[in-house]
Structure 1
Amino acid sequence: MTEILEKVQKVFANIKVSEFMTKDVVYVKPDRTVAQVKEILRLKRISGVPVVDDEGKVVGIISIEDIIKCLENGTLNEHVEKHMTQNVICLDENSTLQDVIKQFERYRYGRFPVVDNNNRLVGIVTKNDILAAVATRLGLLYLHDERRKEVLDEDILNRSLVTGEEIDKKGADFYFKVDYFDINLAGVGAAQLKKFLISKGIDSSNVRRVAVATYEAETNVVIHSGSEGEIFCFIYPDRIVVRVEDKGKGIESIELAMKEGYSTAPDYVRELGFGAGMGLPNMKRFSDKMVVLSEKGKGVIVEMVFYIQPS
């Protein structure tokens, strides 16, 4: 996508951000709790929201990463103003397309709030907004409002839940399709991933953390989803990212599922030694960062980041 933007930015350099930004912005007030924001992000399938005061001025921004920290510290019920990022980089509504692209390249954020001369929130812009504007002007793409909304909602499936960056699943270093029909096969994917990482020269202590967390995620797919799942692994110089997806039943309450010992596994599964209620807690314990995205009836996406530690 970056290459496309580089090619078209000269042609459409003077388009104003106000022409292609999203004007119907989801935002929160500073006195909302982090738990409430977490639910908003889950329902809207977005990775962050601006924080505005009573005058509509941008005073901060809160993202999934901030929420992860609150989950780790047990501060989900505290106010947003205590955990939001205060020094927010905003775009002026009179900024041009060229200005906007430069900001994306400089800061690598997934989105920017757009403000007027009084710092009041008037919109928000993402790279998808830029592409939609350019494609429409070129006559290559036309989407009715409802269809465009569906496309943007699906965008989260192709972005990192942790950073918001685009991910290329077809280019994953490791892929495994999870078979949910036989519970005795739970863990096969994690075992294959372990062998793969060892073959890549990853230190055994790092491999162990990845394998344990992936095993728990894979087992959850087999026990709870009622759907086939997929395991993707991406290896970077400083980290390993594992993403496990299914399109099954979803999780009714992530808060409950995060509690140790909480389980909805049927008795026959427990008799086989599975379903002890340690899946998500163990995944969180062994990974450095973890985000869970789920909606009832629409499946689960778990993304885990493991920073490569020295041997």
Structure 2
Amino acid sequence: MAEDKVDELLQKLQKYFSHITASEIMNKNVITLTSERTLWQAKELMKIRKISGIPVVNDQRKLIGIISIEDIIMALEKNYIKEPIGNHMTKRVVSFSPDEPLESIVSKFERYHFGRFPVVDKNKRILGVISKKDIIRAILERFRLIYVHDERRSQILEKEAEWFDKSLITGDYVKKSDADFVFQINYTNVDLAGAGAAKLKFFLTKKGIGETLVRRVAIATYEAEVNVVIHSESEGAIYCWIEKTCIKVRVEDHGRGIENIEQAMKEGYSTATDHIRELGFGAGMGLPNIRRYSDQMVVMSEVGKGVVVEMIFCERG
């Protein structure tokens, strides 16, 4: 794909995936060199790995500089290609923090025109690198996780009963009777919106699940529960299964449904009434927040038939 086409694509997509951070995009398999290595060695490594720059680190893996293909070209022209990298590397390196959002990442690519940027923690230890290809890959992966673009999605849509009885992620029948946690959502009292998420948080904490993971589950479940209360005009349910490597949560209702899922995924989009907004709900962050805090998410809906939101949460390293 031509460079200008990549830039155009990133401009169009970044507003839909603004929640993605550097830690989710970066390539953790980082090629690095230490300062005593020669420019010639850097040149050969770039040629073998087909990369345009290499971070330079010290013994503690702290970023101290970067060597680029432009530095190599200059070294060849001026005949110092066998000198140490430390003598010629760029020491003032533009980098990303792990929690840097996509908008800022794209902005830096546009501003500095580098091929890749290192990602470092607060102690300057290198965690990964990000190229434009890494950004595209992360966005495509999000597309794959959010929507089911296969024959099974079409089959499920054609058979209403199936998407209430089957997992949207695996396609297996859901054993709701085996759920570790079940909560019936009462849509008639908006003051109770979030009660199920609070009980689920307490339940998971009692089970010894880690605080960070519990928090992510609770936030995403809260958003899904509130959507049932303020939009569905129907009672709903929360189901949770604690599995060996992850936690699965499913929130469903048989109410009004979502007319346009793609539009509903955009931050700030909401169909909530003025009354609901006055109560502090309906900011248009429900589905985007669910997407942000879950590791996998699939939404299935049809107008007049209801909504199923299925989420998977795993420990993040």
Residue among 233, 244, 252 paired with 2:240: 233
In structure 2, distance between residues paired with 1:232 and 1:279: 18
Structure with higher Rg: it is 2
Residue among 218, 221, 228 paired with 1:214: 221
1:13-28 aligned at under 5 Å gives the runs none
1:179-218 aligned at under 5 Å gives the runs 179-218=186-225
In structure 1, distance between residues paired with 2:298 and 2:145: 16
Residue among 265, 281, 286 paired with 1:279: 286
User: Are the aligned partners of 2:298 and 2:310 in contact in 1 as well (CA < 8 Å)?
Assistant: yes
Q: How many residue pairs align between the two structures?
A: 175
In the other structure, the counterpart of 1:59 is none
In structure 2, distance between residues paired with 1:211 and 1:257: 21
Same amino acid, percent of matched pairs: 57
In structure 1, distance between residues paired with 2:262 and 2:289: 14
Summarize the Cα distance change of 1:71–1:276 in structure 2 as closer, same or farther, 3 Å threshold.
farther
In structure 1, distance between residues paired with 2:188 and 2:239: 20
In the other structure, the counterpart of 1:250 is 257
Summarize the Cα distance change of 1:75–1:290 in structure 2 as closer, same or farther, 3 Å threshold.
closer
User: Are the aligned partners of 2:258 and 2:307 in contact in 1 as well (CA < 8 Å)?
Assistant: yes
Residue among 142, 160, 171 paired with 1:72: 142
- Stretches (4+) displaced over 6 A: none
User: Are the aligned partners of 1:249 and 1:296 in contact in 2 as well (CA < 8 Å)?
Assistant: yes
Residue among 264, 267, 275 paired with 2:274: 267
The amino acid that maps onto 1:299 is: G
Secondary structure of residue in 2 paired with 1:303: strand
Unpaired runs of 5+ in structure 1?
1-67, 77-82, 85-109, 112-125, 127-149
In the other structure, the counterpart of 1:293 is 300
In the other structure, the counterpart of 1:302 is 309
User: Are the aligned partners of 1:240 and 1:308 in contact in 2 as well (CA < 8 Å)?
Assistant: no
**TM-score, length basis structure 2:** 0.51
1:34-113 aligned at under 5 Å gives the runs 70=140, 72=142
In the other structure, the counterpart of 1:162 is 169
In structure 2, distance between residues paired with 1:278 and 1:181: 22
Summarize the Cα distance change of 1:245–1:153 in structure 2 as closer, same or farther, 3 Å threshold.
closer
Q: Please give the per-residue CA displacement for 1:198-257, whole angstroms capped at 9, x wherever unaligned.
A: 010000000000000000000000000000010000110100000000000000000110
What is the CA distance between 1:70 and its match in structure 2? 3.6
The amino acid that maps onto 2:206 is: S
What is the CA distance between 1:159 and its match in structure 2? 1.6
In structure 1, distance between residues paired with 2:145 and 2:252: 27
The amino acid that maps onto 1:72 is: R
Secondary structure of residue in 2 paired with 1:243: strand
Secondary structure of residue in 2 paired with 1:275: coil
The amino acid that maps onto 1:210 is: V
Unpaired runs of 5+ in structure 2?
1-137
Secondary structure of residue in 2 paired with 1:294: strand
What is the CA distance between 1:172 and its match in structure 2? 0.3
In structure 1, distance between residues paired with 2:288 and 2:296: 12
Summarize the Cα distance change of 1:73–1:267 in structure 2 as closer, same or farther, 3 Å threshold.
same
Secondary structure of residue in 2 paired with 1:212: helix
What is the CA distance between 1:163 and its match in structure 2? 1.1
In the other structure, the counterpart of 1:118 is none
1:174 aligns with 2:181: yes
User: Are the aligned partners of 2:145 and 2:297 in contact in 1 as well (CA < 8 Å)?
Assistant: no
